[in-house]
Amino acid sequence: MRRNWLEWAILAASVAAIVGLVGYLLLQVVADDGPARISVEAQAAEGAPAPTGWTLPVVVRNDGGEAAGTVVIEAAATVGGEEEVAELTIELLPAQSEAALVVGFSDRPEGEVSFRLVGYESP
Amino acid sequence: MESARDHLRLIAGGLLVGLPLLWTMEVWDDGAVLPAGKLLVLLAIAFAVVVGFNALAGFRRERSWRELLVDSVQALGLSVIVAAGALAVLGRLDPTLGLPTLIGRIAIETIPVAFGASLAATVMAAPDENESGGLGPDAATVGSLGRLLVAGAGALYFALNIAPTDEVRILAAEATEIQLLVAVLVSLATSLAIVFHAEFRGGRSDPSGDGPLDGPIGETIAAYAVSLIISLVLLWSFGSTDGTGPRTVLAQVVMLGIVASFGAAAGRLLVGSGSAGAGGGGSSGQREGTPA
């Protein structure tokens, strides 16, 4: 046998890498998870006072099969009796990924913060 | 440990050539945005190039078809691992990006790394391991179709560094018809000059045969056509042709075609003379084009 153990190890790793990569891509082609599906989840427990008022961490997820570009999300809440609207923009939110952001208000919101997807670009 | 050195050279060559695209943001984003089908097409093209390079002269001299396939699978597989490792070092494989993007990024960055690995296996090999020097066969034995194949690989390799960037789209959008015509003439003239008149190592002054594609004019035009086709395929792969009219697609193809035709010329220099020691001279000529 001309090939030594190192060659066998490298060949095995190479085949595994290619099969993994190409296999996954083929699965993606077959599965076709459809367009981007965007959801927003506020981490209400992690809201905290800040020098600028109040900050609330949020996680934006894309559970669809396509990426979304320039995702704009509006967060609305009642602060000190008045409606306050904050806007978030995400440059690129790939398929099956999540982005952690922080939304700011002038003070602690009263009640729930509501989120609305303003729009996104489908690349 | 001859084979360990071969693999080390393969990995190093892959990193050398893959570096510019590993550092290009548009390519990271393409990993997230491109559909899996297009990534598979690009990987298939890359594998074809790897097989082609290995067939011309691989990192083992004498071999059967089975060995050729095994060597090519190893080169591509190592490239996948090298690309993944390099992206991990650069911190581009954050798990929150999701599996499709991580796999997409690795897939797309594998392509330039695989080109580098093939170059390392062939023209970057130390001359004493590779007695005939360079790619071994000279321009006459490769034949006119073989030269066009090498021209295509060179075009692919050069244009791949530019195709994902926004610059092509900007150049195409702003070019006038006159500029495009000038671009065509410049592409033809420079590739004619590089291969037949500038006296680079590997350049030729005499026709390599008496077929229609063996003379300087015929070969230059055919190689330019190949460059344009490669440009179109790359632009389609990276989504630059989506939603654009024929005028813009044509302008993009011509603008990227300048780069591709340089690559096609450099590729032909590699098989040009087949003289001993062409490994050093040829590969440095090839590397000049890597900055994206």
Chain A contact present for B239, CB below 8 A: yes
- What is the domain extent for residue A81? 38-121
Answer with the residue of higher pLDDT: B137 or A34.
A34
Are residue A46 and residue A103 in the same domain, yes or no?
Answer: yes
pLDDT of residue A80: 86
Q: Quick one: pLDDT at residue B201? A: 76
Binary contact (B73, A15; C-beta < 8 A) = yes
Interchain proximity B98–A96, CB inside 8 Å: yes
Per the structure, how many domains does chain A have? Answer: 2
Specify the pLDDT at position B127: 59
Look up the ipTM and state it: 0.77
Query: Which is more confidently placed, A123 or B245?
Result: B245
Q: Is the dihedral of CA B80, B85, B88, B92 positive or negative?
A: negative
CATH number at residue A112: 2.60.40.10
The answer on A54 and A71 residing in a single domain is: yes
Whole-angstrom Cα distance, residue B3 to residue B12?
14
Clarify whether residues A51 and A86 are in a common domain. yes
CB-nearest partner of B80 from A3, A10, A17:
A17
Query: A21 and A1, same structural domain?
Result: yes
Contact A48, A55 (CB under 8 A): yes
Q: Does A70 lie in the same domain as A102?
A: yes
Distance from CA of A35 to the nearest CA of B (A): 12
**Which chain A residues are within 8 Å of B43, Cβ to Cβ?**
21-22, 25
Query: Residue A14 is nearest to which of B78, B96, B101, comparing CB atoms?
Result: B78
Q: Do A6 and B29 touch (CB under 8 A)?
A: no
One domain for residues A75 and A55 = yes
The β-bridge partners of A114 are A76
B198 touches chain A (CB under 8 A): no
Give chain B positions within 8 Å (CB) of A16.
77
Residue B287: half-sphere exposure toward Cβ, Cα within 13 Å: 19
If asked whether residues A52 and A70 sit together in one domain, one would say: yes
- Same-domain check for residues A60 and A114: yes
| HEC-encoded secondary structure of chain B | CHHHHHHHHHHHHHHHHHHHHHCCHHHHHHHHHCCHHHHHHHHHHHHHHHHHHHHHCCCCCCCCHHHHHHHHHHHHHHHHHHHHHHHHHCCCCCHHHCHHHHHHHHHHHHHHHHHHHHHHHCCCCCHHHCCCCCCCCCHHHHHHHHHHHHHHHHHHHHHHHHCCCCHHHHHHHHCCHHHHHHHHHHHHHHHHHHHHHCCCCCCCCCCCCCCCCCCHHHHHHHHHHHHHHHHHHHHHHCCCCCCCCHHHHHHHHHHHHHHHHHHHHHHHHHHHCCCCCHHHHHHHHHHCCCCC
Q: How many CB pairs under 8 A join A and B?
A: 101
Q: Check residue A23 and give its pLDDT.
A: 94
Co-location of A103 and A72 in the same domain:
yes
Residue of B nearest to A100 (CA): B96
User: Which single residue is written with the structure tokens 């695209």?
Assistant: B21
CB distance A26–B101 less than 8 Å? no
Q: Are residues A91 and A115 in the same domain?
A: yes
In 3D space, the residue among A107, A120, A97, A109 whose CA is nearest the CA of residue A44 turns out to be A109
Tell me the shortest Cα–Cα distance from B27 to chain A, in angstroms: 13
- pLDDT by residue for chain B (292 residues), tens digit each? 567 888 898 999 999 989 999 999 999 999 988 989 999 999 998 898 888 888 776 444 566 788 888 889 999 999 999 999 999 999 999 998 889 999 999 999 999 999 889 888 776 666 554 444 444 455 556 677 878 888 998 898 899 999 999 899 999 999 999 999 999 999 999 999 998 888 777 777 776 677 777 788 899 999 999 999 999 999 998 888 888 889 999 999 999 999 999 999 998 887 764 433 333 333 333 333 334 3
Give B1's contacts in chain A (Cβ within 8 Å).
6
| Cβ–Cβ contact B291 with A under 8 A | no
CA distance readout (Å), B215 to B194, B204, B212, B219, B222: 14, 10, 7, 6, 11
Measure B99 CA to nearest chain A CA, in Å.
7
Residue A6: enclosing H or E segment and its boundaries?
helix A5-31
What radius of gyration, in Å, describes the C-alpha atoms of chain B?
A: 19
Torsion over CA: A72, B100, B75, B227 (sign): negative
Q: Which token pair is B112?
A: 């330039």
Strand pairing partners for A59?
A41, A100
Q: What is the pLDDT of residue B134?
A: 46
Interacting residues of B12 by C-beta distance below 8 A, sequence separation 6+: B120
**Which residue in chain B is spatially nearest to A7 when comparing CA positions?**
B3
Among the partner-chain residues A11, A21, A29, the one whose CB lies closest to the CB of B103 is A21
Whole-number Å distance between alpha carbons of B239 and B34:
7
Confidence at residue A5, expressed as pLDDT on a 0 to 100 scale = 83
- A112 lies in the same domain as A58: yes
Whether B184 contacts chain A with CB within 8 A: no
Question: What mean pLDDT is predicted for residues A57-78?
Answer: 93
Q: How many CB atoms lie within 10 A of CB A69?
A: 17
pLDDT value, residue B277: 34
- A45 and A76 both lie in a single domain: yes
Q: What are phi and psi of B119, to 5 degrees?
A: -60, -40
Separation CA A66–CA A95 (nearest Å): 5
